[in-house]
Amino acid sequence: MAQDAQFGSQRFLTLTLGEELFAIDIFSVREILDYTDITRIPQTPEYMRGVVNVRGNAVPVVDLRMKFGLGRVERTLNTRIVIVEIKKDDTLSVMGALADSVKEVLELETDRIDPPPRMGAAVRADFIRGIGKHGDRFLLVLDVDKVFSSDEIQDLSRLADTDAEAKPVPQPAETVSDEEFFR
């Protein structure tokens, strides 16, 4: 990626969330699926819509609109699940991103991608790599690794315990990892 940044242009997949236009580095995208039934996983934040079967594996699906606070992706003919590969530590992990629609693949001059504004954008600044312009439209270029980072998901999962009956249960403090015990 660093290399691309130095030389000319990069290719992006554009997708819509509500009225906003977003872009994802095409190299992160593995495939694009039509909407299928998502298996709900209880006690997860609402934007974690659940898992879908992608060739025999249960792949988590994130509702990007909810994640960004832009409402909720409703099922329409245009709804798509974009399967992305993200790096977590050293391992490659596969996640699905639920989007209202997927538009096109386009090329952006790297030097035309500006750093994100500190505030005022539709989405939290640290999810955004930059803002690009295509024709007369602005695109928010997503930082895929950040958007799907599991820390992010974990943190929010604790805040977002939706159960009305009890307070979120504090996780018993991990004493010491088992591996360390056995060294």
Partner 1 sequence: MSDIDPSIGLYVEETRELLGELERGLLELESNPGDTERVDACFRAMHTIKGGGAMFGFDEISRFTHDVETVLDRVRSGELPITRELLSLTLAAKDHILVLLEAPRDTAVDELRQASDVLLAAFAAYLPNGTAGHAQPALDQPAAGAATDDNPYACPAQSGPPGIYWVRLRPSATMLHTGNDPVRLLAELDTLGMVRVLRHGPLPALDDSDYDPEAVYGVFDLLVCTPCSAESLRDVFIFVEGDSEVSLTRIHTGLLRGSDLDELLATLVGQDEATIDAAQQRLEAHVAAKVAAIDVAKKKVQARTGPTEGEPAARPQPTAAATLRVDAGRLDSLVSMVGELVILQSRLRQAAKAKDIDAVAEVDEDLERLTDTLRDVALGLRMLPIGSVFSQFTRLTRDLSASLGKEVEFVAVGGETELDKTVIDRMKDPLVHLLRNSLDHGLEPPQERLANGKPACGRITLSAMHSAGNVVIVIADDGRGIDLSVVRRKAMERGLIAPDAEPTEKELFDCIFKPGFSTAATVSDVSGRGVGMDVVKRNIEALRGTVELESVLGQGARVTIRLPLTLAIIDGFNVMVGGDSYIVPLANLRGFQERFVNEVVRTVETLERMGELVPVVSLRRLFAVPGQQPVYERVVITETEGETVGFCVDRVIGRQQAVIKSLDDCYRHLKWISGTTINGDGSISLILDVPQLVRFVRSREETRLQATDPSRTLVQ
Establish if 34 lies at the interface with partner 1 (CB under 8 A).
no
Q: Taking the complex as a whole, how short is the minimal distance between the CB of residue 29 and partner 1, in angstroms?
A: 18
What are the angstrom distances between the C-alpha of 111 and each of 9, 20, 48, 94?
8, 22, 34, 29
Question: Which one, 95 or 108, has the nearer CB to partner 1?
Answer: 95
Establish if 23 lies at the interface with partner 1 (CB under 8 A).
no
Which residues are 58's β-sheet partners? 53
Do 39 and 51 touch, CB atoms closer than 8 A? yes
Size of the site for partner 1 (CB under 8 A): 39
Which residues are 47's β-sheet partners? none
Q: Which stretch binds partner 1 (CB under 8 A): 11-19, 67-75, 98-106, 145-153?
A: 145-153
Residue among 32, 51, 121, 122 that touches partner 1 (CB under 8 A)? 51
DSSP string across 12-65:
EEEEEETTEEEEEEGGGEEEEEE----B--SSS-TTEEEEEEETTEEEEEEEHH
Q: Quick one: DSSP state of residue 115?
A: P
Q: Taking the complex as a whole, how short is the minimal distance between the CB of residue 140 and partner 1, in angstroms?
A: 23
Residue among 8, 43, 105, 125 that touches partner 1 (CB under 8 A)? 43
Q: Which stretch binds partner 1 (CB under 8 A): 18-26, 110-118, 122-130, 150-158?
A: 150-158
Residue linked to tokens 């050293």: 90
Reading the block at residue 114, the tokens are 């500006």
Which residues here bind partner 1, judged by CB under 8 A? Answer: 37, 39-44, 48, 51-53, 56-60, 88, 93-95, 148, 150, 153-154, 157-158, 162-163, 165-167, 169, 171-172, 175-176, 178, 181-182
